[in-house]
Amino acid sequence: MAKKTVLRKPKGFLDVYKHKPGAEKDRTHYCPGCGHGILHKLVAEALEDLDVVDRTVLMSPVGCSVFAYYYFDTGHFQVAHGRAPAVATAVSRANPDAITISYQGDGDLAAIGGNNILQAANRGENFVVFFVNNAIYGMTGGQMAPTTLEGQKTTTTPYGRNPLTDGYPIKMCEVISQLYAPVYVTRTSLHDNANVRKTRNAVRKAIQNVKEKKGFSFVEVLGMCPSGWKMSSTDAQRWIEEEMIPVFPLGVYKDVTDEDRSSIDRPTPVHEVDRVLEALDVTTEKAELLSKREVEPRYANPSIRASGFGGQGIMSMGQAIARVGMKYGYEVSWLPSYGPEMRGGTANCSVKVQENKIGACEATEPTVIIAMNRPSLERFEKILQPDGTIIYNSTLIEVEPTREDAEVYPVPITGLADDLGNTRVQSMVGVGAFAGVTDLFDPEEVIKLLPEMFGSKASLIELNEKAVRAGYEYVKENF
């Protein structure tokens, strides 16, 4: 690398922060004196100098650095709170040449994501963690973090952190360095020039490690949070020196980067499609497609929301529709959404069966809803498209839909299943009813799929066959 003749905004940053809303596209959202900004600059500079900007993927956490993706000119994932290491694992395994960075705060990493980081470290994943320890939850207004010092006042420890009730500050470098797999674990600080310099070196070394596929590097950086600490920026620097460093001693906790550690040599991921298909027992032979039927325009390309109690077979209902759509050569998607309980809670799924490629799988504005219970009807009729279609389970829903523009099909779905001797086949009654309403597919084609869906138990198959036909026939006879 040629010697620098100017120190300017590193190319690891976007020139203009085009993803940032509002007018201020040339400056960050960070508070004056924030440690995140300093670390961002060191990371962006290292990415430029090591010539890896184009193959870097950065995880933006939840916390003040949630918007890291406004600034870095890299690939990004904005991840759920504490889950950066899990997503970074996926990214680095799927693309071993990526420079994967998990950027996290102390609430994110040591509280909600405590187990995530430990497991990723323990697996020795090939990515780098930049961990900003500012002893507080910055973004949410200064609550206690796992790293908050004993006696430190925060909004949730107004009398100061008391270890007897709140535990002791968690020292992540000390914990992580006890594991076998991590190769580089260090704690640095941003409170003065010399330590910024050391942080810069640590950042570069850690990124170099990832570049050389050496495994897991962990760089903890003590950073100022003048807003959370309610101090001036320079007082915040002093506070790090006087209060934080005695609790979080600086230094290299582990460095085995130069050891030959073949035990953490990860097998390269298998992207061979044939092997995956073989493992899943899926055939690549193209099935003969059925010819598509004439469909009334209002039922063409349906976007469907099926919903009901957990246990009503909502997922199978959606799957059956998607699978049969596939047989006709449609593009299909099926997206389940489970309630917290397996039974008794609510469950819904989005299904799309379309002529063109599907972008978003969620049916946010469905053209058809299939409601198996009252809460589902009430919830989803609100998002039904104008002049959409409602198929609802009149056995359990004693109210009528309120949508006057909709075409409405009350079908006693649970009752028809009950008549067959088993309410559990109600989902296939629903599929039959859907076929009856839309004529999108021949119900007999669903019946042919049943063994694939429910295994080969003959009695079950037979019952489900009857269920599909019952739903279909009910609609044809009554509407």
Ligand X SMILES: Cc1ncc(C[n+]2csc(CCOP(=O)(O)OP(=O)(O)O)c2C)c(N)n1
Q: Which residue number, 64 or 202, has a Cβ lying nearer to ligand SF4? A: 64
Query: Following DSSP, what letter does each residue of 81-131 receive, concatenated?
Result: TT-HHHHHHHHHHH-TTSEEEEEEEHIIIIIITHHHHHHHHHHT-S-EEEE
Supply the minimum distance, in Å, between the C-beta of residue 259 and another protein: 31
Q: Which residue number, 80 or 295, has a Cβ lying nearer to ligand X? A: 80
Q: Which stretch binds ligand X (CB under 6 A): 106-114, 233-241, 422-430, 434-442?
A: 106-114
Binder to ligand SF4 among 208, 227, 389, 427 (CB under 6 A)? 227
| Residue 20 Cα to chain centre, angstroms | 21
Supply the minimum distance, in Å, between the C-beta of residue 72 and ligand SF4: 16
Q: Which residue number, 59 or 132, has a Cβ lying nearer to ligand X? A: 132
Residue 227's binding partner among another protein, ligand X, ligand SF4, none (Cβ under 5 to 8 angstroms by kind) is ligand SF4
Supply the minimum distance, in Å, between the C-beta of residue 229 and ligand X: 11
Structure tokens at 107: 């609430």
41 binds another protein per the rule CB under 8 A: yes
Residue 108's binding partner among ligand SF4, ligand X, another protein, none (Cβ under 5 to 8 angstroms by kind) is ligand X
In contact, 220 and 188? CB cutoff 8 Å: yes
| CA 478/CA 372 separation, integer angstroms | 19
Q: What character string, x for contact with ligand SF4 (CB under 6 A) and - otherwise, covers 48-77? A: ----------------x-------------
Query: Following DSSP, what letter does each residue of 441-473 receive, concatenated?
Result: S-HHHHHHHHHHHH-S-HHHHHHHHHHHHHHHH
131 binds ligand SF4 per the rule CB under 6 A: no
| CA 232/CA 458 separation, integer angstroms | 75
Contacts of another protein in 69-108 (CB under 8 A): 71
225 binds ligand SF4 per the rule CB under 6 A: yes
Q: Which residues contact 139 (CB under 8 A, 6 or more apart)?
A: 62, 63, 64, 66, 105
Nearest to 378 by CA among 358, 399, 357: 399
Residue 310's binding partner among another protein, ligand SF4, ligand X, none (Cβ under 5 to 8 angstroms by kind) is none
Binder to ligand X among 78, 95, 140, 301 (CB under 6 A)? 140
End-to-end CA, the chain: 77
| CA 411/CA 429 separation, integer angstroms | 9
Q: Which residues contact 54 (CB under 8 A, 6 or more apart)?
A: none
| CA 109/CA 388 separation, integer angstroms | 45
Supply the minimum distance, in Å, between the C-beta of residue 11 and another protein: 10
Contacts of another protein in 215-244 (CB under 8 A): 226, 233-234, 237
Nearest to 100 by CA among 89, 110, 115: 89
Q: Which residues contact 81 (CB under 8 A, 6 or more apart)?
A: 61, 62, 108, 112, 113
Ramachandran angles phi, psi of 363, nearest 5°: -85, 85
33 binds another protein per the rule CB under 8 A: yes
Binder to ligand SF4 among 36, 40, 83, 254 (CB under 6 A)? 36
Supply the minimum distance, in Å, between the C-beta of residue 229 and another protein: 13
Structure tokens at 251: 């230094």
- Residues lying near another protein in the complex (CB under 8 A): 3-10, 13, 26-28, 30-38, 40-42, 44, 71, 190, 192-193, 196-197, 200, 226, 233-234, 237
- Residues lying near ligand X in the complex (CB under 6 A): 62-65, 81, 105-108, 132, 134, 136-140, 145
- Residues lying near ligand SF4 in the complex (CB under 6 A): 30-31, 34, 36, 64, 134, 138-139, 225-228
